[in-house]
Amino acid sequence: MNKYFVKYGKDHRAQYISHLDFLRTIGRAMRRAQLPLEYSQGFNPHPLITFAAPISVGIKSECEMFCVRLTEDITAEEFKERLTDAMPDCLPILEVTKDEIEFKSINSADYEIETEKPVSDELINAFMAEPQILIDKKTKKGIKETDIKADIFDISVQDNIISATLKTSDSGSLKPMLLISAMNKYGIDTGFCRYLRLRFRDTDKNVI
């Protein structure tokens, strides 16, 4: 099988690269690395590449993943070496493996949110004690007030770092920015925030 799973990071310079821009970037990097992509058959061939839970713009990451098929069979090590050389520094290749990773099993993601103003435990507890947490959420049908409480799987705070496990799956995701908007709405002043995605988890909370 010439199927490779690639884990990569996005540093602060790369956090504003949109998904479409990343697709173009990876296509060019694969060419530079002379890693021949396999294309789909049919009238409008496109490279066989799939992404795990695409990330929104404005978030750094240590756990992005995509899966790609090559027309050639090389080792995962060689793949990693070649692609690393062909990528810009701000998108480091962290790991390449041929072992199957089930993107579909992703159910949540851990985030680290650095707040400008420190947030106390009490405030977080009070926030989570609300019967429901309502916030305007953009959906396909327009803006809709939604209860996001059930999408916050875990949340804790230490000084100005909020650690949160948020729902991230095919059936819907909670973006960390929306969590912060909700906290602001419920009276917690965070100030400006930096966002970092750390890892994915499955339904049993095992790290993927």
Partner 1 sequence: MLEKILQKVSKPARYTGGEYGSIQKDPKSVAIRYAFCFPDVYEVGMSHLGLRILYHLINEREDTYCERVYTPWPDMYEEMKKENIPLFALESGDPIKNFDILGFTLQYEMCYTNVLRTLDMAGIPRKSADRDESDPLVCAGGPCTYNPEPIADFFDFFLIGEGEEQTNEYLDVYKTCKEKGLSRAETIKEISKIEGVYVPAYYQAEFEGDKQMSFTPLYDDVPKTVKKRIIKDMDSVYFPDKIIVPFMEIVHDRVSLEMFRGCIRGCRFCQAGYIYRPIRERSPERLLELAKKLIDKSGYDEISLVSLSTSDYRKLQEFIDELLKYTEKRMINIALPSLRVDNFSLDLMSKIQKVRKSSLTFAPEAGSQRMRDVINKGLTEEDILGGARLAFSGGYKSVKLYFMIGLPYETDEDVAGIPLLAKKVVETYFEEPREGGKNVNVTCSVASFVPKPFTPFQWSRQNSLEELSEKQHILVSTIKSRKVNINYHESKISVLEGVFARGDRRLCSVLERAVDLGCVFDGWSEFFDNEKWLQAFSDCGYTTEMFTRERSYDECLPWEFIDIGVTKEHLKRENEKAKIAEVTPNCRQKCAGCGAASWKVGVCYE
Q: Does 76 contact partner 1 by CB under 8 A? A: no
Our finding on whether 17 is near partner 1 (CB under 8 A) is: yes
Structure tokens at 9: 């990071």
CB of 180 vs partner 1, minimal distance in Å: 11
| d(C-alpha 52, C-alpha 50), whole Å | 7
Choose which of 19, 46, 71, 88 interacts with partner 1 (CB under 8 A). 88
Determine contact, residues 91/12, Cβ cutoff 8 Å. Answer: no
Q: Is 172 in the site for partner 1 (CB under 8 A)?
A: no
Q: Quick check: helix, strand or coil at residue 164?
A: strand
For the purposes of burial, counting CB atoms within 10 Å of the CB of 112, is it exposed (0-12), middle (13-18) or buried (19 or more)?
middle
- Dist. CA 39–CA 42, nearest whole Å: 9
In this complex, which beta carbon is closest to partner 1, that of residue 10 or of residue 80? Answer: 10
117 lies in the binding site for partner 1 (CB under 8 A)? no
Which position among 73, 89, 99, 102 is part of the footprint of partner 1 (CB under 8 A)? 89
Beta carbon nearer to partner 1, 19 or 104: 19
Q: Is 21 in the site for partner 1 (CB under 8 A)?
A: yes
Q: Does 30 bind partner 1 (CB under 8 A)?
A: yes
Q: How far is the CB of 9 from partner 1 (least distance, A)?
A: 13
d(C-alpha 78, C-alpha 57), whole Å: 30
Nearest to 107 by CA among 150, 140, 147: 150
Q: Residue from 99, 142, 192, 204 that binds partner 1 (CB under 8 A)?
A: 192
Residues 39-58 that bind partner 1 (CB under 8 A): 57-58
CA distance 13 to 60: 9
User: Given the rule CB under 8 A, which residues bind partner 1?
Assistant: 11-18, 21-22, 24-25, 27-32, 57-58, 86-90, 192, 194
